[in-house]
């Protein structure tokens, strides 16, 4: 089989750019595809050619196989790489490639079909003596069948989309009375994400770790593993921190994981890159097969870092008919690697997705490997997965990698949307995580991690005042009065600066090495170096980075979060009240209205469900009351802040 000459990447963003990098190193021409809203994204600019697939919704662009094949034919691409997500585990794309005489950089259609069907995969693994969790995976089961089976499976249980992955179409159900609503929601989400609403049931292990093994196989009978990764830190069954190797395993257990994963790959005559995922119970040492992802994983960089291998290069070699680059005994690991997924979402509001323009962005390239789908000025749209980038760090040991990642996140500068960098920092610095006390419910066990640590506005004002006065902000002087940064009564000089931090307007007075805000006066010491600052005010301290937006506006970045500080602010402000209704917490589409106008609801009752970035979000009544009217219908698209429901709280509440 000849070497690949031109590769079409049937994906977008970060993974498309990742594949382009390896293709450039190998002299392979690349073709990017994009939807209308993605026309300006970096992957489109970096490819040798680019083809527009259609409108923003994925079902009209990235998920249309005929358009993908037509783009490959038009550009003369002799191979297609699906990346991950979208069509990466779609048998129809693999079959269409074969029919068109185009190489598919992935496994054969049979392997995708078997492992893409979670029920069939469970059955195959059980037949090959790979342990699986108790469950119910009958083909074509109705809602009534699933309701009856749920009591036999036992609670807590997991409803899992048969055709799914990435946490889509999954719901944990703790008690029988929650089952019906969870089943309906899982089916809707699975149908939206995968076009298939079949689900299965599995016993849910409250205390378990998620350990997965990277496998590779070629067309010459060779199959190997490249060690394991731990992906236990998750939210909504989606991974947010991954690391390799998995901490706390003895060599015998590591070997058992690797052997089981290779056996699973051989059982389906696998080809290419795959990941076999297990639930691991540390107390007993048992592990259970969950699923096999028949594609490259989001977290593949941590494996690359500890092995020194380029997994995309391995994929291209196998697709070209070459044997695996290394035998099992030639694959070695060294050190530790850790990755975080930077998402456009608001952890303090239940991880609601956030869309918008990245107004300011500076990646910490000198601190970490950054695999990013966006650059400054790009817009994160609500149509796709909310991941902005991955930050990956390497260390001689786990704590070294962790500390490097903490520093990288502290050096990140990002504003314009909500994002999870401050939350990631809290997790990385948490005692339990630092000690590798991991399981898939870490965030439930550590609820304080959901609470943002507030930054004292006075400290932000003091830092900004000193940055302005130092000249580091490159002030533009608009009036003579703005040049008067100090006043000297009776021979003593002091400086006054008025600043707005959030909603607060503060006046900073500095004199003789001390600073006052309101009634507080303390000694002040500020060090400014390039775009970094370090401040000590009495016993309080603060450090971070800063950048100038305009002559009188700074962005201060502290623990991953951007704080806007304005000098000489206007006192004018506008307030908007949304009392009496449900307001869209993010842009998205309405998928379900759960009650009728005029209905009485109790606190906790589901009222309306939105879908954004391929995930459902149900808005519930916080108090007892009455729904008067809906301003939207199922299928409508709404923007963040839109009034959705007229609601009146019970007067007795």
pLDDT over 50 (residue 305): yes
Select the more confidently predicted residue: 483 or 297: 297
Specify the pLDDT at position 238. Answer: 86
pLDDT-derived band at 580, boundaries 50, 70, 90: low
Specify the pLDDT at position 282. Answer: 92
Contact 551, 317 (CB under 8 A): no
In 232-286, where does DSSP find H-type helix?
251-267
Mean pLDDT check: name the lowest of 219-228, 260-269, 308-317. 260-269
pLDDT over 80 (residue 608): yes
Task: Determine the average pLDDT of the residues in 74-80.
Answer: 98
Tell me the DSSP string of 321-390.
TPPPSS-GGG----SEEEEEEEESEEGGGTTEE--EE--EEE--TTTSEEEES--TT-EE-TTS--EEEE
Mean pLDDT check: name the lowest of 83-87, 444-448, 532-536. 444-448
Task: Determine the average pLDDT of the residues in 291-318.
Answer: 97
Q: What percent of the chain has pLDDT over 70?
A: 93
Distance, in Å, from the CA atom of 296 to the CA atom of 345, rounded to the nearest integer, reads 24
Task: Determine the average pLDDT of the residues in 594-617.
Answer: 84
Residues 6+ positions from 196 with CB-CB distance below 8 Å: 161, 162, 163, 190
Specify the pLDDT at position 466. Answer: 92
Distance, in Å, from the CA atom of 388 to the CA atom of 417, rounded to the nearest integer, reads 11
What value, to the nearest 5°, has the Cα angle with vertex 427 and ends 422 and 430?
A: 120
pLDDT over 50 (residue 534): yes
Specify the pLDDT at position 614. Answer: 66
pLDDT over 70 (residue 574): no
Specify the pLDDT at position 472. Answer: 59
Nearest alpha carbon to residue 88 among 116, 46, 114: 116
pLDDT over 50 (residue 492): no
pLDDT-derived band at 471, boundaries 50, 70, 90: confident
Select the more confidently predicted residue: 641 or 295: 295
Looking at domain 134-203, its CATH class is alpha beta
pLDDT over 70 (residue 448): yes
Tokens of 489: 């009564």
Select the more confidently predicted residue: 489 or 630: 630
pLDDT over 70 (residue 479): no
So where are the chain's domains? Answer: 6-105, 134-203, 211-450, 457-567, 581-649
Nearest alpha carbon to residue 395 among 383, 408, 404: 404
Mean pLDDT check: name the lowest of 308-322, 330-344, 636-650. 636-650
pLDDT-derived band at 452, boundaries 50, 70, 90: confident
Specify the pLDDT at position 493. Answer: 55
DSSP letter at 180?
H
Nearest alpha carbon to residue 307 among 221, 229, 400, 241: 229
Out of 2.40.110.10, 2.40.290.10, 3.90.180.10, 2.40.50.100, select the CATH number for domain 581-649.
Answer: 2.40.50.100
Distance, in Å, from the CA atom of 583 to the CA atom of 550, rounded to the nearest integer, reads 32
Does the fold of domain 211-450 match that of domain 134-203?
Answer: no
Sheet holding 170-173, edge to edge: 135-136, 199-203, 157-161, 170-173
Distance, in Å, from the CA atom of 371 to the CA atom of 375, rounded to the nearest integer, reads 11
Average predicted confidence (pLDDT) for the chain: 90
Contact 417, 355 (CB under 8 A): yes
DSSP letter at 512?
T
CATH topology of domain 211-450: D-amino Acid Aminotransferase; Chain A, domain 1 (3.30.470)
Region of 36 (left: φ > 0; alpha: ψ -120 to 50; beta: rest) is: alpha
Distance, in Å, from the CA atom of 205 to the CA atom of 583, rounded to the nearest integer, reads 36
Contact 150, 168 (CB under 8 A): no
Select the more confidently predicted residue: 237 or 468: 468
Contact 233, 432 (CB under 8 A): no
pLDDT-derived band at 349, boundaries 50, 70, 90: confident
pLDDT over 80 (residue 571): no
CATH topology of domain 6-105: Rossmann fold (3.40.50)
Specify the pLDDT at position 500. Answer: 93
Contact 606, 181 (CB under 8 A): yes
pLDDT over 70 (residue 487): no
Please tell us whether the domain made up of 457-567 is placed in CATH 3.30.420.40.
no
The pLDDT tens digits of the residues spanning 197-242 come to: 999 999 888 889 999 999 999 999 999 999 999 999 998 788 999 9
Select the more confidently predicted residue: 400 or 602: 400
Mean pLDDT check: name the lowest of 31-35, 130-134, 165-169. 165-169
Task: Determine the average pLDDT of the residues in 128-145.
Answer: 89
| Prediction pTM value | 0.81
Tell me the DSSP string of 197-220.
--EEEEE--SS-EEEEEEEEE-TT
The pLDDT tens digits of the residues spanning 15-25 come to: 999 999 999 99
Distance, in Å, from the CA atom of 514 to the CA atom of 521, rounded to the nearest integer, reads 7
The pLDDT tens digits of the residues spanning 581-590 come to: 677 877 788 9
Q: What percent of the chain has pLDDT over 90?
A: 69
User: Reduced to 3 states, what is the DSSP secondary structure of residue 600?
Assistant: strand
Residues 6+ positions from 164 with CB-CB distance below 8 Å: 118, 170, 190, 193, 194
Tokens of 433: 């995580």
* Residue 522: how many other CB atoms lie within 10 Å: 16
């Amino acid at each position: 089989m000849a070497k690949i000459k031109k590769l079409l990447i049937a994906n977008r963003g970060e993974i498309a750019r990742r594949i382009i990098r390896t293709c450039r190193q190998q002299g392979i021409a690349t073709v990017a595809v994009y939807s209308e809203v993605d026309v300006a994204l970096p992957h489109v600019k970096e490819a040798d050619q680019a083809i527009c697939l259609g409108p923003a919704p994925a079902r009209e662009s990235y998920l249309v196989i005929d358009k993908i094949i037509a783009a490959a034919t038009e550009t003369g691409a002799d191979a297609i790489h699906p990346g991950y997500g979208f069509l990466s585990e779609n048998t129809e794309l693999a079959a269409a490639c074969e029919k068109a005489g185009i190489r598919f950089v992935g496994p054969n259609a049979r392997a995708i079909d078997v492992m893409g069907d979670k029920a069939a995969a469970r059955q195959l693994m059980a037949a090959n003596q790979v342990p699986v969790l108790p469950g119910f995976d009958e083909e074509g089961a109705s809602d009534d069948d699933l309701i009856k089976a749920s009591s036999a499976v036992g609670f807590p249980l997991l409803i899992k989309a048969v055709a799914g992955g990435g946490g889509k179409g999954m719901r944990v159900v703790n008690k029988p009375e929650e089952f019906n609503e969870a089943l309906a929601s899982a089916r809707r989400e699975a149908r939206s994400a995968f076009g298939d609403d079949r689900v299965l049931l599995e016993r849910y292990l409250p205390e378990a770790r998620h350990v997965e093994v990277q496998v590779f196989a070629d067309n010459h009978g060779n199959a190997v593993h490249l060690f394991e990764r731990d992906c236990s830190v998750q939210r909504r069954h989606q991974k947010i921190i991954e690391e390799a190797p998995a901490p706390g395993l003895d060599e015998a257990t590591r070997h058992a994981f690797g052997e089981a994963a290779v056996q699973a790959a051989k059982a389906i005559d696998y080809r290419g890159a795959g990941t076999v995922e297990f639930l691991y119970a540390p107390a007993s040492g048992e592990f259970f097969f969950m699923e096999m992802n028949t594609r490259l994983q989001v977290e593949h960089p941590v494996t690359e870092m500890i092995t020194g291998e380029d997994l995309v290069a391995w994929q291209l070699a196998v697709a070209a008919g070459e044997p695996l680059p290394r035998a099992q005994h030639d694959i070695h690991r060294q050190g530790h690697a850790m990755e975080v997924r930077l998402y456009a979402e608001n952890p303090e509001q239940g991880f609601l997705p956030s869309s918008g323009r990245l107004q300011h962005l500076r990646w910490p390239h000198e601190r970490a490997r950054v695999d990013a789908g966006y650059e400054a000025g790009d817009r994160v749209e609500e149509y796709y997965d909310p991941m902005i980038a991955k930050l990956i760090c390497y260390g001689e040991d786990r704590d070294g990698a962790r500390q490097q990642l903490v520093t990288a996140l502290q050096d990140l500068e990002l504003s314009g949307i909500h994002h999870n960098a401050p939350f990631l920092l809290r997790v990385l610095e948490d005692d339990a995580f630092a000690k590798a006390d991991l399981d898939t419910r870490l965030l439930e066990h550590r609820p304080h991690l959901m609470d943002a640590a507030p930054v004292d506005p006075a400290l932000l004002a003091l830092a900004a005042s000193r940055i302005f006065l130092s000249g580091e902000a490159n002030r533009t002087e608009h009036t003579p009065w703005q040049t008067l940064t100090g006043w000297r009564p009776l021979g003593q000089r002091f400086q006054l600066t008025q600043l707005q931090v959030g909603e607060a307007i503060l006046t900073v007075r500095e004199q003789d090495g001390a600073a006052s805000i309101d009634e507080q006066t303390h000694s002040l010491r500020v060090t400014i170096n390039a775009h970094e600052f370090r401040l000590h005010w009495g016993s309080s301290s603060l450090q971070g980075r800063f950048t100038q937006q305009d002559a009188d506006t700074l962005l201060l970045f502290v623990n991953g979060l951007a704080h806007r500080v304005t000098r000489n602010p206007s006192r004018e402000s506008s307030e908007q009240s949304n009392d009496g209704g449900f307001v869209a917490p993010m842009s998205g589409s309405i998928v379900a209205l759960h009650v009728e106008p005029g209905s009485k609801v109790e606190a906790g009752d589901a009222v309306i469900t939105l879908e954004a970035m391929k995930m459902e979000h149900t808005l519930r009544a916080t108090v007892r009351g009455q729904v008067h009217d809906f301003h939207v219908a199922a299928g409508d698209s709404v923007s963040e802040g839109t009034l959705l429901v007229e609601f009146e709280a019970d007067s007795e509440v």
